[in-house]
Amino acid sequence: MVLSMVKRYVEQIVICLLAAAICNADAFAQSGSAAGLTPKQFMESFWQLETNGGRLTAQGWRNTEHFFSHPLPFPKKLKIVVIYSDSSVWDEFIPGRPDEVMIGIERIGEVDSELRFRPWRTNAVKEGVTLNLIRVQSPDQWRIDGTGEVLWLNVQTAIRYVERMRTETKDTELKLNAEKTFTALKKARDLDQLRKR
């Protein structure tokens, strides 16, 4: 009788262990990895924030530090690259290298800290920007290898930024630069909207 009870007890333990193993395997399969996001999902979440101005303020900059391996303090002079809105994170570009993520973009130009616009001169319609990722032990698993010193903004967000800076500054030269940049970016925005049709 004691042997029968021990046998039943051992069977119940084995069934519980098997059920736990099956649940863990199912959770692993659903997540696509042991925990967190795939490199593409991680980069898409960053790119959405980035191009819509998530790091344009000191608070936004701090809130997104976790995306980078070596984040810098909020800079006094921002480096802004303006792009068309049809940018996208590509699928794994180099087979077997999920840590190299490529983003398809088309540059419009750059806005410097004096709010001057410098158009991008290239014959390429679309280019790929490669960002390297580092695997870490955290909920999202990845960090962009670097400091994040360059801001990538879609044209609509860049216009809002220039308008805000133009309104806030008392410096007449900055206001004049902002006016010229605003005009150039509005033309680019119109072209961006035509491209979507």
Average pLDDT, the chain: 82
**Tens of pLDDT along 54-94?**
999 999 999 999 999 999 999 999 999 999 999 999 886 66
Residue 10 clears pLDDT 60, i.e. is over it = no
Q: Tell me if 79 sits within 8 A of 189, measured CB to CB.
A: no
Mean pLDDT over 112-128 rounds to 86
Q: For residue 197, what pLDDT is reported? A: 74
**3-state per-residue secondary structure call for 54-120:** CCCCHHHHHHCHHHECCCCCCCCCCEEEEECCCCEECCCCCCCCCCEEEEEECEEEEECCCCCEEEC
Residue 105 is encoded by which pair of tokens? 């973009």
Do 123 and 106 form a contact (C-beta atoms < 8 A)? no
Q: Structural domain boundaries of the chain?
A: 1-31, 37-195
Tell me how far apart the alpha carbons of residues 112 and 173 are, in angstroms, rounded to a whole number.
13
Give the pTM: 0.77
- The model's confidence at residue 171, banded by pLDDT at 50, 70 and 90, is very high
